[in-house]
Structure 1
Amino acid sequence: MDVDVDEVASELYGLLPAEFTAARNAAVARARTAGDADAARRIADLRKPTLAAWASTLLVRHRPEETEGLLQLGRALREAHRNLDGPRLKELGHQQHAVLAALARQARDLAAEAGQPVSETVVREIEEIVRAVVADEAVAEQWSSGVLEKAPQARVGFTGLEPGPAAVPSPPERGGTARPEQPQDRRKKTVRERESERRESAREEERRKEAELAAARRETERRDKELRRAEESRRTADRRLSQAEDRLADLERRRREAEQARDRARDDAATAECRAAEAGRAAQAAREKLERLGS
């Protein structure tokens, strides 16, 4: 029988983090019993969520309207960025700050209601997670599934979005025949010069932003490499932890069996002692009877 790994993952990541490992190991055992080795392997690869990741997905499970509002805000911001819509970005940016802080507080309250209070440090991590949901469509999709292992990599701006062709302004067309410069021409020239300076300033600002973006990408690549190394170390540690937990469970089982065997041996020893005492009394009575008959 095939095991629905997605359904199992959804159930596991809805539990308290402290309950995750035992429930995951039980799910692995059920999958193996069902004969689905691939599902058992995939379930075993699931990792306990961080407190912030778990708390953030409580919003998905218990606040569907707020969740959809956040996803819509992310789509609107990414679209405004794609179109270089400055006024819209400014408007939505103000809205974003209020929404992220409010959602982080809601997640904190939901965690407390579930019996797992979180610190202000974790609340700030939750806010960073929902910020990544707004900035990155892939993160938004993963988070909205309710299955999130850890906070996504820190984002700089909006990920994977380049301004569309419609967002690039076309240079104004120039035309007309030459004639002697008039006072109004000088005024127009001054206006054109200011406009040219404005466009040059805008291009310079764009080049500066591109340089910052390139630097941020290099920094992200470096951090990603460090993250991959850290993740590999964590996976190794998790495997060792799982193996140690399995060994501990086996030792606990053996201890219980040994205690049961000890208790049975004590009962047998007590029974044998009673029988020996009875046999001793019977032998003594027989000897006394023999002595009386012999005399």
Structure 2
Amino acid sequence: MDFDEAADELYGVLPSEFTATRKRLAGELPRDDARRLTAMRRPTVPAWAVNLLVRDDAVGPVLELGERMRAAWSEGGDLTALDRERDSVVDDLVRRARTLADEAGRPLSDAFADEVDETLRAAIADPSAAEAVRAGRLDHPLRHAGFGPFGAAAPPARPKPPPRRTKKAREDDEAARKEREDGEAARRERERRERQERERRAERARAAEREAEEAERSLAEWASSVEEARRRLADAERDLDDLRRRVHEAEARQTDLSRRAQVAEREHRRAERTAREARRRARDLAADAS
């Protein structure tokens, strides 16, 4: 397995399995590649969902549409039809991402689905974002900061002045215009509130993700501490076994020396008896000789 194969596999697993998979794959790579892989960050849930779309070969329409829209914009063309197509393609892919996430066992919340939507729109507007999506190794969702009024329809041509109309018609037109303006203002206000609510949900989701990542890092640190404590305990147990062996050997030597001392004591007493007997016989022989 090379680095690219390992990285592709890593960013295809559930975020909850990322750390364990990264550790396993790093153990199968050369040292430098293992270090690069270990430095890779765990993806947020929305980024993981976009990576799922890449592995499902579903992002092609978005990337192709982005090329057409950017070309049309640079040429000053009308983006109205492309803008409608963008909304349709992105909506379809967000639904597909939710299906894939459900099948993988990690459903997408509305806030996460909004971030998938933003990432796909960023890939349409920005070539660098498109390449990041195409690679399938996102670790965070993307957001397009601006491409002029990208995606907006070209302004319509100025209409010719209408023929002179009656006062009643003009009043009706004015009322209709005011109604349209009020409706447009209400729509913009509604979209503003919806956008703010999406941003609040996304921020809460990101905060939850950050808390989850912090908890995972703490867990990894504790796991490392436990592993180190286990290693030290194993070393201490080996040292204790060695000390026990040495004590056993010392006790065996002490027993052997004690046994030898007893044998030497018996031999010493036997030698003393032999010497006394020899002296006694010598005295007897001397007496007989005299």
Distance 1:105 1:222, change over 3 A: closer
Specify which of 122, 147, 165 is matched with residue 136 of structure 1.
122
Alpha-carbon contact 1:13-1:20 (below 8 Å) kept: no
1: CA distance between counterparts of 2:206 and 2:192? 21
* 1:19-49 superposed Cα distances (whole Å, 9 cap, x missing partner): 157469989xx56xx9xxxx97x98775434
1:174 paired with 2:161, answer yes
Cα distance change, pair 278–78 in 1 and its aligned pair in 2 (3 A): farther
Q: Distance in 2 between matches of 1:54 and 1:165?
A: 26
Query: Helix, strand or coil: the match of 1:66?
Result: coil
Distance 2:92 2:213 in 1: 38
Change (3 A) 1:87 1:225: closer
Give the superposition deviation at 1:288: 1.8
Unmatched runs of 5 consecutive residues or more in structure 2: 73-77, 274-290
CA distance in 2, matches of 1:56, 1:242: 24
1:104 to 101, 106, 113: 101
1:69-108 alignment runs, 5 A limit? 69=61, 71-72=62-63, 75=66, 83-85=79-81, 88=85, 92=89, 95-96=92-93, 99-105=96-102, 108=104
CA distance in structure 1 between the partners assigned to 2:131 and 2:155 by the alignment: 29
- When residues 294 and 53 of structure 1 are mapped into structure 2, their CA distance, relative to the original with a 3 A threshold, is farther
Partner deviation per Cα, 1:245-284 (whole Å, 9 max, x = no partner): 5444433332222122122212222222222222222112
Please name the residue that 1:259 is paired with.
Answer: 237
In structure 1, the partner of 2:18 is: 17
The answer as to 2:137 corresponding to 1:147 is yes
Inter-partner Cα distance in structure 2 for 1:220 and 1:47:
25
After superposition, give the CA deviation of every residue in 1:86-145 in whole Å (9 maximum; x if it has no partner): 864676477456534443355x1xxxxxxxxx2xxx223497264444343277654443
3-state SS of 2:107 partner: helix
Match of 2:253 in 1: 275
Alpha-carbon offset, residue 66 of structure 1:
2.7
Distance in structure 2 (CA, Å) of the matches to 1:224 and 1:101: 16
Aligned to 1:112: none
Residue aligned with 2:57, SS: helix
Q: CA deviation at 1:17?
A: 2.2
Where in structure 2 are the equivalents of 1:43-54 lying within 5 Å? 46-49=40-43, 52=45
Shift in Å at residue 205 of structure 1?
A: 3.9
Partner Cα separation in structure 2 for residue 230 and residue 11 of structure 1: 25
Matched residue, 2:262: 284
TM-score normalised to the size of structure 1? 0.56
Q: Please, what is the CA RMSD of the aligned residues?
A: 5.3
Number of equivalenced pairs: 251
8 Å CA contact 1:73, 1:96 repeated in 2 = no
Distance 1:57 1:19, change over 3 A: farther
Does 2:52 match 1:56?
Answer: no
Which of 1 and 2 has greater Rg? 2
For 2:122 and 2:194, the matched residues in 1 are separated by 15
Residue 173 of structure 1 deviates from its aligned partner by 0.8
1:226-245 paired onto structure 2 within 5 Å: 243-245=221-223
- Give % identity: 24
What one-letter code is carried by the residue in structure 2 that aligns with 1:279? L
Letter in 2 for 1:211: E
Match of 2:271 in 1: 293
**Which among 58, 65, 68 is matched to residue 57 of structure 2?**
65
1:115 aligned residue: none
Give the drift of 1:234. 6.7
Amino acid at match of 2:261: A
1:175-190 alignment, distance < 5 Å: none
Q: What do the CA deviations read for 1:26-77 (whole angstroms, capped 9, x no partner)? A: 89xx56xx9xxxx97x987754345x4586366367x3523434x3487499
Residue 255 of structure 1: SS of its match in structure 2? helix
- For the residue of structure 1 that corresponds to 2:58, the secondary structure is helix
